[in-house]
Amino acid sequence: MQQGIDTVGQRTSGFACPPTGMFVGGEWREARANASLPVLNPATGEVIATVADADVEDATDVLDAATAAFPHWSATSPRRRAALLHEAFMAVRDRAEEFATLITMEMGKPLAESRAEVNYAADFLRWYSEEAVRITGTFRTAPDGSSRHLTLSQPVGPCLLVTPWNFPLAMITRKVAPALAAGCTVILKPAEETPLSALKFAHVLAEAGLPAGVVNVLNTGRPGPVVEAILRDPRMRKLSFTGSTEVGRRLLTLAAPGVLRTSMELGGNAPFIVFRDADVDAAIEGAVAAKLRNGGQSCVAANRFIVADSIASEFIDGLAERLRAQIVGPGDDPRSTLGPLINERQRDRAVGLVDDAVSHGAEPVVHHDAAGPGDAFLKPVLLDRVPPSAEIARQEIFGPVATVYRFSNEQEGLALANATESGLAGYVYTRDLNRAIRAIEAMECGMVGVNRGHVSDASAPFGGAKQSGLGREGSEIGIQEYLETKYASISAT
């Protein structure tokens, strides 16, 4: 074990399991074939629940339900939709501890981080409860005076929402809240690793009084055929996806025949630039947050630390100290600061990227052979002087592995930052305002953290450039993804 990196033992605790069926048209039921899907605790590998495993026939049922509920829900007054979303916000906040426990059990992150996720997730419900009544249109006199232009925003219709495992609740509310605020009905397909948070959320929505069929949830171990069946149905109007770029690309092709509207929140490869005039202590603090949040399993995780030569040693020494101080262990142990990765496969993938980088000449600063207390654990790693030829420079790491690339001038640093097909988040540390503005403008990404390692906020537009996605979630922009613009030309002669 690397000296200084502590680990704690395995521990599990009880939790209140939500309904485990499919949620269709306001009813809980088993999948037609009675199949079920195990849910594992990543810290122990134990099965903690089984949930209904839907197939293609079940997909037709959720489509029927979402389609049937649409006329009534889209005609429900904005004030009523807002009130229901606010009710859901209060209910999630009231049950924050139950949600946090569930997230830790099925996804692994430390409880403190699960609590933070619940707050973030609830914020989307509050924000869009406030936005539901602000959907507007315009009225204009045509330039030649002969007619009037009336524009209005209408809900697009039934939507399919496909979400990943890394934020099992927040990635759901970030889509469901704007969709419902806009007047859309939804089919939610959560990641197979983390179905329980989604099911609990559906339960809370039903208790809050959401009409039957407005939100439907199906879990499946065969996402390919099930999602394809839904996307091929002409009643479907919109796909909103968060996940890997690889699956996103595939879904875009499936959405093409029906010319479905799509929102894509895909993978990142975030640069974290530390210029020579940065406050190095603040940069280390931000680096720890941007790298280790969610064990590095975040689409906005800092993937590449791009550091000015003159302060590189100071930054690396400080970051190494912080990485060594992490306590790796089960998320339900209050001593743990870093939980397991989602599964052994992800851990092995991250280890493989580290090994490849070292074989290409990267210099290990914090490195170890021993893993952690279980199969999915990985202790933090820090690699210096990573060559751009290493696979780790191009791929999203999705683990607690920090890689350092050094540069000698501003242009070189920015060029390194942009040397990726991804463009989700980026981070910049500098005390020079002009340099900060130049960097914000030059960076090819959707979000920039300036002197902070955090960009996510329900009131801000979240999303990526380049191959990191299409569209934005959050803020007043996020609801537009679920609205269609209609224009009426009215004779005025």
User: Hey, which residues are catalytic here?
Assistant: 265
C-alpha distances (whole Å) from 481 to each of 15, 55, 157, 164, 196 are 36, 28, 11, 19, 26
**Widest CA span in the chain:** 84
Residue 305 or 462: the one with the smaller Cβ distance to ligand NAD is: 462
Site map (CB under 6 A) of ligand NAD, residues 388-417, x = contact: --------x---------------------
Instruction: Give the contacts of 227 (CB within 8 A, at least 6 positions apart).
Output: 160, 162, 189, 251, 254
Write out the binding residues for ligand NAD, residues 449-488 only, by CB under 6 A.
Answer: 464, 469
Quick check: 222 binds ligand NAD (CB under 6 A)?
no
Stretch that binds ligand NAD, among 64-72, 118-126, 243-251, 280-288 (CB under 6 A): 243-251
Site map (CB under 6 A) of ligand NAD, residues 346-385, x = contact: ----------------------------------------
Minimum CB–partner distance for residue 476 and ligand NAD (Å): 18
3-class secondary-structure state, position 251: helix
C-alpha distances (whole Å) from 151 to each of 139, 155, 305 are 6, 14, 47
The DSSP secondary-structure symbol of 25 reads T
C-alpha distances (whole Å) from 273 to each of 120, 126, 280, 454 are 26, 34, 11, 14
Q: Give the residue, chosen from 44, 67, 240, 242, that forms a contact with ligand NAD under the rule CB under 6 A.
A: 242
C-beta nearest to ligand NAD: residue: 243
Residue 113 or 265: the one with the smaller Cβ distance to ligand NAD is: 265
Residue 118 or 280: the one with the smaller Cβ distance to ligand NAD is: 118
Minimum CB–partner distance for residue 120 and ligand NAD (Å): 12
- Measured CA to CA, the distance from residue 355 to residue 396 in angstroms comes to 15
DSSP per-residue letters across 166-226: SSTTHHHHHHHHHHHHHT--EEEE--TT-HHHHHHHHHHHHHTTPPTTSEEE---S-HHHH
# residues near ligand NAD by CB under 6 A: 27
- Measured CA to CA, the distance from residue 198 to residue 191 in angstroms comes to 9
Residue 284 or 425: the one with the smaller Cβ distance to ligand NAD is: 425
Site map (CB under 6 A) of ligand NAD, residues 267-296, x = contact: xx----------------------------
The DSSP secondary-structure symbol of 257 reads T
- Measured CA to CA, the distance from residue 388 to residue 182 in angstroms comes to 44
Q: Give the residue, chosen from 224, 257, 361, 364, that forms a contact with ligand NAD under the rule CB under 6 A.
A: 224
Minimum CB–partner distance for residue 54 and ligand NAD (Å): 12
Write out the binding residues for ligand NAD, residues 156-175 only, by CB under 6 A.
Answer: 162-166, 171
Q: Could you identify the residue written with the tokens 């680096």? A: 287
Is 165:136 a contact under the CB 8 Å cutoff?
no
Could you list the residues that contact ligand NAD (CB under 6 A)? 162-166, 171, 189, 191-192, 223-224, 227, 242-244, 247, 250-251, 265-268, 299, 396, 424, 464, 469
